[in-house]
Amino acid sequence: MNIKHHLDEATLVSYAAGSMSQAMALVTACHLSMCPQCRERLAHSEAMGGVILDALPPAEVAEDSLQKLLACIDEESDIEAVLLDRPDINRPHKDHSDKGIPTALGDYIGGSLANVEWKRIVPGVYFHDLPCKSERGGVSRLLRIAPGKAMLPHSHDGNELTLILQGSFSDEIGRFTVGDIADLDSEVEHQPLVDSDVDCICLIATDAPLKFSTLLGKIVQPMTGF
């Protein structure tokens, strides 16, 4: 995997702060799973949260807080505690799911892209909505586009994140392959064209509805909720 397109600095800060919608956080977490460079950048953004936390004026905690916790801790044996919180026991291990599907997404689609039930928008273009909460009428969905097909040209009122899970596309910005993320805001109008010989599958999230600039787009929009 040779990732060329990364998360915007402002997106990383928003993820670290926990202040982005569930839909946007899912795409961000999936790119982070695939990209060691952005993970290292995130560590610095999260350190910002740690430093500010440490500098906050302390609030008053209930008198019996500490006693309650110590009693709780006494009740659990160490072994139980370790078992309860081992992530690899609670979650299906990556080996059991598709290669290339981050766990955060796998949790929503039964661990594999093969399980996804696609709906057709127009010939060669399919989508599957995810149950993640978005904001301001934004979307959280998987998109599958056949080779040679293009997404409808559109621009945004807000942020849009698109992560490539399979195949590739090119648009006005460049070429996007597996692991790459297009992190765009309202300044950009683009029309991604699939240039791989397999279907291109992307995970997308927006925090506002997309604005289509063609008549076809305007007609299709109400039907797809894009």
Partner 1 sequence: MENKPPGEDVENVVAMPSMSNRLSGADPDWSEMLSRLAESKDKTLYIALFRHFAPRVKSYLIRLGLVDTVAEELMQETMLAVWRKSHLYNSNKAAASTWIFTLARNKSIDLMRKQKYPEYDLEEWQEEPDHQDNPCEQGVISDRMNSAINTLPENQAQVIYMSFFEGRSHADISDRLGVPLGSVKSRIRLASEKLKTMWRDGV
Name the segment binding Zn ion (CB under 5 A); options: 38-46, 68-76, 101-109, 206-214: 38-46
Query: What's the CA gap between 87 and 71, in Å, rounded?
Result: 25
| Closest among 3, 6, 22 to 182, alpha carbons compared | 6
Residue 188 binding target from Zn ion, partner 1, none, CB below 5 to 8 Å by type: none
Q: At what angle do helices 36-55 and 9-17 cross, to 10 degrees?
A: 50
Name the segment binding partner 1 (CB under 8 A); options: 23-31, 109-117, 192-200, 211-219: 23-31
Return the number of other C-beta atoms located less than 10 Å from residue 170's C-beta: 17
Q: Binder to Zn ion among 20, 25, 35, 210 (CB under 5 A)? A: 35
Nearest distance in Å: CB 101, partner 1: 10
Query: What's the CA gap between 164 and 174, in Å, rounded?
Result: 13
Name the segment binding partner 1 (CB under 8 A); options: 39-47, 145-153, 167-175, 193-201: 39-47
**Contact status: 149 vs Zn ion (CB under 5 A):** no
Nearest distance in Å: CB 209, partner 1: 12
Tell me, what amino acid is at 9? E
**Contact status: 34 vs Zn ion (CB under 5 A):** no
Sign of CA pseudo-dihedral 92, 98, 104, 110: negative
Within residues 138-167, the interface with partner 1 by CB under 8 A covers 158-159
**Contact status: 104 vs partner 1 (CB under 8 A):** yes
Query: What's the CA gap between 59 and 171, in Å, rounded?
Result: 51
Q: By CB under 5 A, name the binding residues for Zn ion.
A: 6, 35, 37-38
